[in-house]
A and B are shown apart, each in its own frame.
Chain A
Amino acid sequence: MFEQHRALNIEEWLHDPYNGTIIYAYKGSINASIVSECVQTLEEYLVKNVDGIVAKPKTAVHITIELIQNIFHHSMPYLGIEKFGAVKLVHLPNGLLLEFLNVLSKDKAIILGERIQQLNVLSKEELKKLHLLILSNNEYSVKGGGGLGLVDVARKTSSKLLAEFYPFEKNNYLYLLKIHLN
């Protein structure tokens, strides 16, 4: 079973810069326009601040695209919003912190928590093999990716994926995924 946290105050979380600078913060409906706005804001910030926030700026953009689109495809209703999600991108003194929040049912949260734990212990070579296996297995999910997203993200970053799960209501969880890049 994954580690559960007590409760998340979304407003407090969204506006906490953690001793850094918030590049982008949004909560609400995740649609195609928000995906574009988020990605464009990050790209512009990375271009303006060329003095090495992260070693691989394109990787940061790539991961952001993947994970915000993940919310777009998989989010559930919350606070009366059909495709609820939230994103916070923070420029820290030691890199970039990318955070993505959405709602999951309990069964999906359990599967996802276990999957992230598994990915976090795989070596680069094992992640590559898994990536190639999923890429070439001829299966598509309804959303198109066939489960490649998290493996791709894990492969592109040298840090671990940090997932936090906050239960609410009967069988739902807020799922917060954090990626630190430097």
Chain B
Amino acid sequence: MDPIVIEGTSKTPSVNFNASTGVLELKGRSIPENSIEFYKPLIEWIEKYGATPQAKTVVNVQLEYFNTSSSKCILDVIKRLEAIANNGHDVVINWHYEEDDEDMLEAGEDYQSIIKVPFKMIEVEA
């Protein structure tokens, strides 16, 4: 399965989804005017990956900002990961947030309260 590698822009995050390592990364800003258009191929990739996932899938999320339309799409991404976990595979989400960024920590905790996938909150230097 081909990886997805997308460079980040001022409005969209960098993406590196690798099926052979089981490591999925999303970094930067997610504030596009049309979030659904950006996230649709990512969600489709995870659905396909979910058919034959690695024994352990590690998801690294390190977002600086995301708008509310992205927040719905990110939830959809995480729901697909939850489905992989529900099929008996190991999935962990490393949610990175800058030390003074309470909003981003809170956003991670919100997802954690909705989705039953292990979240690891990781504080990083600003």
Contacts and interface: CB of A to CB of B under 8 A. Distances in A.
Interface of A: 32, 35-36, 39-40, 56, 58-59, 61-62, 65-66, 69, 72-73, 128, 131-132, 135-136, 140, 143-146, 148-149, 152, 156
A145 B71 CA distance: 8
A143 B33 CA distance: 8
A58 B65 contact: yes
B78 to A, nearest CB: 11
Contacts of A132: 110, 113-114
A135 B11 contact: no
B31 A69 contact: yes
B44 interface: no
B114 A136 contact: yes
A156 B67 contact: no
A156 B103 contact: yes
Question: A-B pairs with the 5 shortest C-beta distances?
Answer: A144-B69, A148-B68, A145-B68, A145-B69, A144-B35
B30 to A, nearest CB: 10
B68 to A, nearest CB: 4
Interface string B101-123: 11100000010011000000000
Contacts of A136: 75, 114
Contact of B103 (A36, A59, A146, A148): A59
Contact of B67 (A36, A65, A128): A65
Given A56-B102, A144-B73, A35 B33 contact: yes
